[in-house]
Structure 1
């Protein structure tokens, strides 16, 4: 009865301290996670504001740029527009924005950085976007929306382009918010961005994107539809519940049945809110784990107390535990008399049972036995025993390894307690063999890496270069003075910057930029052409433990010859071997591109189709060698009459094609006649040095944008003209 009551009290006490541990841990972790969420929100806010401020600054500068002012002032001349498109493309590439485009006062896009893409903005009217009306009335504006053309979520910043107080047009700078996905890799947990209509327009969790908190008002729906801000049919309310009824003030929320700790941060400049979420399940699990651990500790204490309280079979229980340990164990009292010794010890040290028949076995007896059988090496056993006893009586803890005569390696650990001395003996023979094997394998790996043709570096989390091979120094042409067991990454970057590896600019700025980029531990792959002309392929991959980056490994491969070979192969694939002109495939590809350019610009384009008259008779009379020389001379003569922008190709056999950009009918016929006359004047010679002449027939056609002609249509019309030239007696232009 008493025992039952005692057990009930102890059980209740253990449950109480477990409950107390759970609540205390839950409260502490909630505070920590809240602070962490707040820090992440501020970090995200700072990053986002920095990106948006950069776009605002870019828009301000572009609105005052002379190139844009001149373009809108010169009545949108084609030459000026082409220059502006190139300027916008270059600016967009340098500043790494998504798109930059210019609209006139009616909202029509007249120039854009993506002018050379099929999905460019030129010719499209975005007057329905708020950023246009804002810039027109207030000289500046901004708007968040999914692009009508690009279909990507972006933030648009607009500025009025003014001159002498007059608004000439509008410049718009866009950044794609899809790039925020890179930041989500560094921010653990879910988060979302919400606009002033309570719509989650961006989230690390795709299930939350384009969801609304609550029902969208009719006014907001009308505005979204009018401005085409989002696909309104995709926006539905999210299943979210808060502890306070207001999601913006709630500390805990439930989303699709999952509970989260939440944090809301408002961005005044854009009227957005950052919502950070951290699963409560982690806090609950940790709290439960701590509760279990505390309860377990309480239970252990109870067991220990209960064991002390009972004071029964203590020695027997301890001996049982010792016997089941994987290591040999001895326990001596303060006078170094043996209290406990397990069978594992006898097995490891090969002690006979006769040593332990006396209940008063002493440490000195065991040491003398070992000394007599040579365990401590050569020497007087009595002296060796005294030395060992002296070391023990110093009462210092010790750890060492001892190799027995039979080759077994033991790890010996001795520890003095208040009034006892405990020693454990562990067989580490296999572990030592494994360590030696690991060292040997490491040596093999070291030799392998040092003999690789590609350079290799390993960088730790503090950006110390902890490993490098000889090929790395050779490929980067680094001096021996940099060779250190551990190199500083910034020292390497500084050395490269000083010798111009990264181009002009401030050396320390180069160092800081690359160090900050490297600290992100993101995979990277790029090609770098060194000042000596060699091209290196650089590949970096992060090293991770349990998903956490702690450095990265980088390889450097010399691909100079590979690049040259690839360039040569491309040239061979696009060029006719005999005449060194473009082959039919590549010529038609270039002609197709030129036709598309003419469609956009409205510029003139002419095509010539040339065929050598009676060329078969040249091969029949003089042989194919002379025929080949004739074709080469023909190609060379024609190219001598062409401009740099004119393109000529061999379409097959003795048939050739030429297209003339920016050239109308009159110019095409003049050039065709000049070519025909030049071919007629060529003096060719056969193998007997006898001169002979050839003539050429030429068909001319001019591209007409009104008929939406394709490349095949132009070639067909030129071929018909060539047929007329042939049927009218050859050696003529039609």
Structure 2
């Protein structure tokens, strides 16, 4: 904003004096193109010049400039009146601003405006009298600084909460960062690992207290400094004098192809090493126990037939001679209908097919007398001349008692106590497994939600004991109708759910209709109060299918099936409704 005509400013006087300078118009053109707001006040605090950026930053109204340039007093009172200087008496605030300018002292400060804008204000006196002030919007910079401080605080909190000691040194081996955990892990006194300190001081402290073992301190220090200056990755374990074992891992920090520092983590693995030692001891004890127990030692040829057997008769009832020539999977297949989860021999079959060893795989076999035995099977391939396995050698140990006890606990934990069906936990585990298979093979998967109609009437009319009989009968009909690969579960109350792997919508609808008609056709007979009752039971069924192209979470698939059940209920009950396909994407 140029001064009024005829006004002589320090700048016009400067130009008129013949010294290097510029006139007011040239000066105004210059300041109008500056990125910051600029003001020039004369010796009497009159505003001589300012640019539009200054007016915009302070949101000054045009009315202040109608009669020319406002004075500092006018500006200060205007800004104070609208709260630019914060809470307080506007007259006192304006007076303080005016007095500060009258002192003609250089100043730099930040001021936050009511709208949140942060201005950096820099003022300097002029040699000819007067004052020049620049106003720079540093809001974005302040926000960036605040964000940087926040994230630095978060990072520091995260690193301090980690169980590892963490240090960062620069290319001059100066400590840049160390979290609070490092002093505890290294057994250092407070303040021994501070940013800015030389890393050599830590090395020397450790050497002097024997952390690196016996020997002269100076050679130990120099050797480790030389290694550190190479900035090479390293990973090793070190046992401290107090018996604690540290795992130390260092990674160099690269910037533009050069090493600029090193990050090192220190982990106290004392407990892990002790645990590993305990595991080794337990393994040795277990080996001795197995050697002293009933065991079956065997050998297979490349075709999977037994070529050697010792001790089979005490476990399987077959003599060693009877075992020769039989296939490895014969007894597993005969035992496939046992209560073991899934295919118990899959682990051993898969490992042999891949030519890999297997160890302590629990398998289920059918003995010669028809009873079931569970064995812990371990085997390893016999190397052939062509590099392929020429066969397998292994040993099976009887773990029937232990396995049956574990299975009993699993049944109690994974099955509904009233109906014996799978409970929610087991169902969700199986659902996750079937989803993984679906991803591999691309087959469809369906879900049925079955709700017993008017079950409350059964309980109210005949009592809860009859209600329990109804639930158990429905459970038996469901479980007896589906395939062995399907899974029926009770999710609570009178609601059942059926998982149908490798089943499309048409197959699910057919099975659902079959279940509905069978349940209706077989009334449940029970006794209550000494009298026999017959209860005709109907069910409402909701079905939903998902494909590999449109996978869904269990909750989403269940919600679709639940909505279908709801439609079946409101459509008159004793019917099957199929969920609509999920939306694309």
Same fold, judged at TM 0.5 (above)? no
TM-score category (smaller protein): 0.3 to 0.5
- The TM-score normalised by the length of structure 2 is 0.41
- Structure with bigger helix share is 1
